[in-house]
Amino acid sequence: MAVLYDESRRLFKLDTANTTYMIGITEDGYVGHVYYGRRLNRPGGEYLLRAKEYAYILSVNAREKEAFLSSFPFEYPTQWTGDLREGALDVMNEEGQCGCELFYRDYEITAGKPSLEGLPASFAGEGKAAEGVSTLRLTLTDPVLEIDAELIYSVFEKEDVITRSVVIRNNSGKTRILQKVYSASIDMDAGHYEMLSLTGSWARERHIRRRPVGIGKQSVGSIAGKSSHQENPFIALVTPGAGQDTGEVYAMNFVYSGNFTAQVQVSQFDSLRMCMGINAENFSWTLESGDHFTAPEVVMTYSAQGLGQMTRHLHDFYRGHLIRSPYLHKERPILINNWEATYFDFDTEKILSIARKAKESGIEMLVLDDGWFGKRNSDTSSLGDWYVNENKIKGGIAALSDEIHKIGLKFGLWFEPEMISPDSDLYRAHPDWALQLKGRTATMSRQQYVLDLSRQEVRDYAYECVAKILRTAKIDYVKWDMNRELTDIGSAALPASRQQEVFHRYVLGVYEMQERLVTEFPDLLLENCSGGGARFDPGMLYYSPQIWRSDDMDPIERLRIQEGTALVYPLSCMGAHVCCAPNHTTARSVPFETRGHVALSGTFGYELDITQIPEEDLEMIPGQIAEYHRYHGLIAEGDYYRIHSWSGEEPWDVWGSVAKDRSEALYTFVQVLTRPNVRSRRILLPGLEEDTVYRLEGTEECYTGGELAKCGILIPEMRGDALTKLLHFTADTRA
């Protein structure tokens, strides 16, 4: 088993294929982090706790306890008893006092992986997938507060991943208030590191940012009620200069879709603390006697061979142990969405005209976006009124769906179940169903409010709005959108003592609704969206196999968005469409071929008025669809290699997907800008077998894998901006 306990050393050793994680226990019962890094064959290193270096030992001398607590490498640190660094747990007692101190109690090692109550979480899987998955439950206790903290570590040997979560139990007979509950924390020597994060804004999400780690706190986070456009729930510590295949990487990713904190802190003693969990701002949770609180899961991985290895660890882990959809290993239907084709201005005939033309081109599904319900002729009304607008859709959604299916296409539908318009029948009937602060005028965004999904009756209403349509019409796909941040965090249904539970209860409510949806409609293809990419996180992947990557479909902007997203998340889960030109967000015009090649590294589809595009573009669609069908399996299941970023010195972008058996590879080259008076570019193409001979599709050119990785290939300068090449190599059976 991958988890061992050496009783003589009081040391837990957690092993993956290439890494070791160790936890030690002092003679006073403190639980400390010993080591995380390259795999060790035998347990050891307990001296790294430095327990005997301190003047304080509880059983002998309590004079310098504060110095000890501020220096000890805690596995799960607490606050207000002496450790002056960021704590992972903050608990208030019945007298309003904060302070917690945890000591080792017991442990349990089991095969497999437990689920987490009410939360998305990774799973062991079945058959061979479940082999090499084991769990350590390490129980710590505070004898004064009479609470237990059960630290849960699950080891995924093959993927080099360890997950962590925490369950806090109140055994006191009194009320305890949780002020902060992080899910994971690691203490180690500071060394020299940079913090890597994914940051941005609407339409430019998940750009890669690196900054040196110095004394004090460096963090990213969200208080938007969702994981946000601005900062993704992912951070990595990397050694300076770490690249795709060199350097050390310690990564954390949060399986949660709400407020979060991801932080690195360097202390006065040159110790480093890396932690992740629910953001403590405007958060508390009341634990009555006998209650428990389950914190969401953190995914951790360590790479000694750069960011590329980290990426492939995470991609394999999410495909194998988090995404549950039956579509995971299937080709997704190639869709056309009417949003940028029509916005709110459409009727049945317009939609059917798009469907007919799409069918002629080989497209497989039509998705009807915003504007089909209530009196929704703009974004100023009707969210919450989920009945069809028959002035637009004659005969209703079921009749339209039937017509679309008769044409030979699947049919999908857009919903925004979490929102409510002030101008809606729902709001007029239930104004208290919106999140709001007593005595204040609620803040609008996109002229809408947020439904209070902490309330069961509101969740039931919102869910039934979606489900009743899916029960009465043939709907193959649902796009679940969420177009604003949470503000005015108040619930009319909760007492004053529980108002700071609203943020977390809201996220739990979203999870409950989506779990009901995929359970009642198991064959439904669900795509999550939040104003584009504001909820692109592992929590959402548990319910939907794909997430809309960004509202900005300009392929040049998408290059940076795609690079950052693919650093952590598999290509198969990235919603990607071929857009109009000029692009509606940036007004940039990019060749149709380039738009197709960039969208190919994703779920692939179209968002344009196919009845109005130039004939030469229309004629390219069948070929693009053929490329999708040809390469989908390789892109969706292969190993991802990031080769060059145009955000660097040179204006081109290169990435690749390599088959697991190394039998083939597809590399995409995008020349973003043309420069005069330059020679061909030499591009190194990693990932293939050293001595195997590969043939470049469409030519008679052959190269060994070693030649491609070390000598590279020459790509001549192309005329014009944003031009692309697909380089498909297959093992040459004639060699």
Does 424 share its domain with 527? yes
**pLDDT tens per residue, range 652-669:** 999 999 999 999 999 999
Does 585 share its domain with 682? no
DSSP state of 128: G
**pLDDT tens per residue, range 607-630:** 999 999 999 999 999 999 999 999
pLDDT value of residue 561: 97
Domain enclosing residue 719, as ranges: 643-731
pLDDT value of residue 501: 98
Q: Are 541 and 323 in contact (CB under 8 A)?
A: yes
* Cα–Cα dist 15/40, whole Å: 8
Specify if 307 maps to a domain.
yes
What is the token pair recorded at 680? 């061909």
Specify if 383 maps to a domain.
yes
Nearest to 301 by CA among 193, 166, 155: 155
DSSP state of 420: E
Nearest to 87 by CA among 95, 76, 98: 76
Peptide bond into 582 cis (omega under 30): yes
Do the bridges between strand 365-368 and strand 335-337 make them parallel or antiparallel, or are there none, so unpaired?
A: parallel
Does 263 share its domain with 137? yes
Choose the catalytic residue: 316, 370, 481, 617: 481
* Cα–Cα dist 570/318, whole Å: 7
| Helix/strand/coil for 549 | coil
**pLDDT tens per residue, range 9-24:** 999 999 999 999 999 9
| Upper half-sphere CA count for residue 12 (Cβ side, 13 Å) | 26
pLDDT value of residue 665: 98
| Upper half-sphere CA count for residue 53 (Cβ side, 13 Å) | 11
pLDDT value of residue 130: 83
Q: Is 432 an active-site residue?
A: no
The residue from 613, 633, 653 where one domain ends is 633
Choose the catalytic residue: 370, 551, 617, 653: 551
Q: Is 733 exposed, middle or buried (0-12, 13-18, 19+ CB in 10 A)?
A: exposed
* Cα–Cα dist 351/337, whole Å: 10
Does 450 share its domain with 314? no
* Cα–Cα dist 732/707, whole Å: 14
Does 261 share its domain with 380? no
Specify if 329 maps to a domain.
no
pLDDT value of residue 58: 59
DSSP string, 237-250: EE-TT--SSSS-EE
pLDDT value of residue 718: 81
Percent of the chain scoring above 70 in pLDDT: 98
Q: Is 481 an active-site residue?
A: yes
Query: Which of the residues in the chain have pLDDT under 50?
Result: none
Does 374 share its domain with 502? yes
pLDDT value of residue 677: 78
* Cα–Cα dist 563/544, whole Å: 21
Q: Are 524 and 516 in contact (CB under 8 A)?
A: no
| Helix/strand/coil for 183 | strand
DSSP string, 88-135: SEEEE-TTS-B----EEEEEEEEES----TTS------SGGGGTTEEE
Does 404 share its domain with 553? yes
* CATH number of the domain bearing residue 649: 2.60.40.1180
* Cα–Cα dist 722/591, whole Å: 7
Domains: count for the chain? 3
- The C-alpha angle 329, 641, 16, rounded to 5 degrees, equals 75
* Cα–Cα dist 458/7, whole Å: 52
Does 647 share its domain with 628? no
* Cα–Cα dist 294/105, whole Å: 19
Specify if 80 maps to a domain.
yes
Does 310 share its domain with 406? no
